[in-house]
Structure 1
């Protein structure tokens, strides 16, 4: 592939915003691509994919690069991909043979997988023998997965509609609403997306709403709804009958839920901001089903958010564990006796997952609950994001 000076500079600009200003990679790339309308589809794809991959391998690239200059860092990455560098003045400091020798001498697994040392130690202590295969899987590029909006179409119909426009997809057993793209495409521009026929949602994430076992006519609370991806799935599974209360402490996220629901033809979602403990108390024993898709480290979704590993710390993970337990101690009061609750994270760490559920069940707040089943979804086994999904029953019968 021929390199162009202006697109490489686009990558440099994005990396500076991510690593020097601490901005989020997805937002930076979106803004970078908007900054130059003259870039074609191939240029945009090069900038987005190169930026994400350089973020993913940032520690290793920095170790191998002769300097921290962005041209040297890019050139090092380009050689790591098996490409040849043009004879440009900007790449004069890079010696391919020296770089290869330095790479072959690395023995530290954390350096080879380009993760912080503390994260390697934590992962090994929590996942044991499964850790190295898992982090290796999480360093692979994420596939693009669609969730078919069954209120408006069927999986087969959408598959055929996309194929007619040259977008080929395949079906994966065990994920009834999922279509996986054979090649990466910007599907957000496709008319089928604008018509609300699908959402982009990883296959593992699609398991969460399904685990709640909802039925049409139920009153369901999604208490950590964010931008509403799982609330939309719940509404579709309920055939747009009943009520889904989409709640979050950040009201601005719920505005996105409203827009997405309108596009998807969903009328049963009611956004509601959590303004404090009073909001939770007013909804005591009001829900047939409760989803707690809690804040987490996000280690299970490193494929699509590789910058997460550079923003995390042991302190931030402990803080998120505290938040998870606070939610478990308070929010389940909104569930009716006889109702079911799902606790979910996009983390692979037991300390955020089954150990949190155990701590809840052993506490006063969890004395009326029992664990029905849980799923530990690892990227190395599923091929998709890492997730944890626990389904619990609140004992008793509703009045």
Structure 2
């Protein structure tokens, strides 16, 4: 691989913004890729993948390079050098790479790789918490899996097409996909590509949605004609899946505290041809109270640490703080206590998170069931999805029934 100056410099600029200004990696990369219209798909993919790689391995690379935050420009070049040497990429004769100590870099890598927190490049507190909650062996396997680049998985929109037909349609646009066993609507891309530019996407034939996330709507056991409330709908990936499972019959009320996310959901629903979704912004408690005892099904896809999706959001490792976890656990329990009141007697509710920590998952459900509000509920089943077992996002879901 030959390194091109403008691509390397664009990567360094992106890293500076992510590390020193606290910007979100996906937004920075999106902006960076628009910088030069002459860049082809290979150039773009170099910038995106290299930036994500160095973000993912920040702790390990900065330790090897012996640099500390905030990173100066020469520090970022030293980290880039570590990345290149460990990948066997020949460094060009630029002043930034003069006198690169290749043997020292490789030796330091071997030495640091003996310790999990450096090898997997995570903060001390996260390493300690993961081991405490999951046990040393499971955590070691899980954090290794969460450092792999996430595959691109899409969900065929059955309101418009079957997964089998979607494979053929995408093949005509030179996008190769294959079905995923045990995931009825999922296809995985053989190679990463910009699928948002395809006609198939613009015509609403599919949505990008991780395989584990696709399990949640199925888990809720919906039927056409039901009244379903998606309480933390966000931009609506699961609402859209529910609409397809309900064949556009019945009503899905999509709630969120962020109005801009619901606007995006409306756009997505229109493209998908999902006509049974109604969005409501939670701007006061009345919105929730009006729905008490009215829903056949309630989905609580609760806000969480996001530790199960580190493979697609590697910068979350550096943004997440232990204090946030304490706050989010409180929020999760408040949401469970309050939103569960929307369910009719005999109705079913799913509590789900994209976290692998029992304190955000099983323990929250146990606490709820032992509370006044939860005494009328029983746990029908729950499922814990580890990335190390599935190869996809880490997830948790519990199905509860109101007696």
> What 5-or-longer segments of structure 1 have no aligned partner?
none
Of 260, 279, 283, the match for 1:252: 260
Residue number in structure 2 paired with 1:70? 76
Matched, 1:115 2:122: yes
Residue number in structure 2 paired with 1:58? 58
Deviation at 1:89, TM superposition (A): 1.4
SS of the aligned residue for 1:204 comes to coil
**Distance (whole Å) between structure 2 residues aligned to residue 160 and residue 374 of structure 1:** 35
**Distance (whole Å) between structure 2 residues aligned to residue 272 and residue 217 of structure 1:** 20
**Distance (whole Å) between structure 1 residues aligned to residue 271 and residue 180 of structure 2:** 26
**Distance (whole Å) between structure 2 residues aligned to residue 61 and residue 93 of structure 1:** 18
Matched, 1:97 2:97: no
Deviation at 1:32, TM superposition (A): 1.1
The answer (yes or no) to whether the contact 1:235–1:268 under 8 Å persists in 2 is: yes
Moved more, 153-162 or 63-72: 63-72
Matched, 1:144 2:137: no
Moved more, 168-177 or 349-358: 168-177
**Distance (whole Å) between structure 2 residues aligned to residue 263 and residue 52 of structure 1:** 30
**Distance (whole Å) between structure 1 residues aligned to residue 175 and residue 34 of structure 2:** 24
SS of the aligned residue for 1:167 comes to coil
**Distance (whole Å) between structure 2 residues aligned to residue 64 and residue 391 of structure 1:** 46
**Distance (whole Å) between structure 1 residues aligned to residue 317 and residue 207 of structure 2:** 26
Aligned positions of 1:109-258 closer than 5 A? 109-128=116-135, 129-258=137-266
Could you list the per-position Cα deviations for residues 55-89 of structure 1 after superposition, in whole angstroms to 9, with x for gaps in the alignment? Answer: 10011010111545221111111112232222221
> What 5-or-longer segments of structure 2 have no aligned partner?
none
**Distance (whole Å) between structure 1 residues aligned to residue 393 and residue 66 of structure 2:** 34
The answer (yes or no) to whether the contact 2:2–2:90 under 8 Å persists in 1 is: no
**Distance (whole Å) between structure 2 residues aligned to residue 104 and residue 309 of structure 1:** 23
Deviation at 1:294, TM superposition (A): 0.4
* Matched length: 395
**Distance (whole Å) between structure 2 residues aligned to residue 356 and residue 276 of structure 1:** 25
Deviation at 1:45, TM superposition (A): 0.8
The answer (yes or no) to whether the contact 1:344–1:387 under 8 Å persists in 2 is: yes
**Distance (whole Å) between structure 1 residues aligned to residue 92 and residue 127 of structure 2:** 36
Residue number in structure 2 paired with 1:300? 308
Could you list the per-position Cα deviations for residues 214-266 of structure 1 after superposition, in whole angstroms to 9, with x for gaps in the alignment? Answer: 11111100000000110000001000111110100111110000000000011
**Distance (whole Å) between structure 2 residues aligned to residue 374 and residue 264 of structure 1:** 30
**Distance (whole Å) between structure 2 residues aligned to residue 153 and residue 298 of structure 1:** 31
**Distance (whole Å) between structure 1 residues aligned to residue 305 and residue 66 of structure 2:** 33
Could you list the per-position Cα deviations for residues 273-330 of structure 1 after superposition, in whole angstroms to 9, with x for gaps in the alignment? Answer: 0122221111111111000000000000000000001001111111111110110110
Residue number in structure 2 paired with 1:79? 85
SS of the aligned residue for 1:365 comes to coil
Deviation at 1:172, TM superposition (A): 1.6
Moved more, 54-63 or 92-101: 92-101
Residue number in structure 2 paired with 1:371? 379
**Distance (whole Å) between structure 1 residues aligned to residue 11 and residue 111 of structure 2:** 29
Residue number in structure 2 paired with 1:9? 9
The answer (yes or no) to whether the contact 1:76–1:94 under 8 Å persists in 2 is: no
Could you list the per-position Cα deviations for residues 181-213 of structure 1 after superposition, in whole angstroms to 9, with x for gaps in the alignment? Answer: 111111111100000000000000000111001
Of 331, 335, 339, the match for 1:331: 339
Moved more, 202-211 or 155-164: 155-164
The answer (yes or no) to whether the contact 1:113–1:135 under 8 Å persists in 2 is: yes
| TM, length-normalised to structure 2 | 0.96
**Distance (whole Å) between structure 2 residues aligned to residue 82 and residue 100 of structure 1:** 10
| TM, length-normalised to structure 1 | 0.97
Deviation at 1:145, TM superposition (A): 0.2
SS of the aligned residue for 1:100 comes to helix
Deviation at 1:93, TM superposition (A): 4.2
**Distance (whole Å) between structure 2 residues aligned to residue 82 and residue 317 of structure 1:** 39
The answer (yes or no) to whether the contact 1:72–1:93 under 8 Å persists in 2 is: no
The answer (yes or no) to whether the contact 1:329–1:365 under 8 Å persists in 2 is: yes
**Distance (whole Å) between structure 1 residues aligned to residue 91 and residue 102 of structure 2:** 9
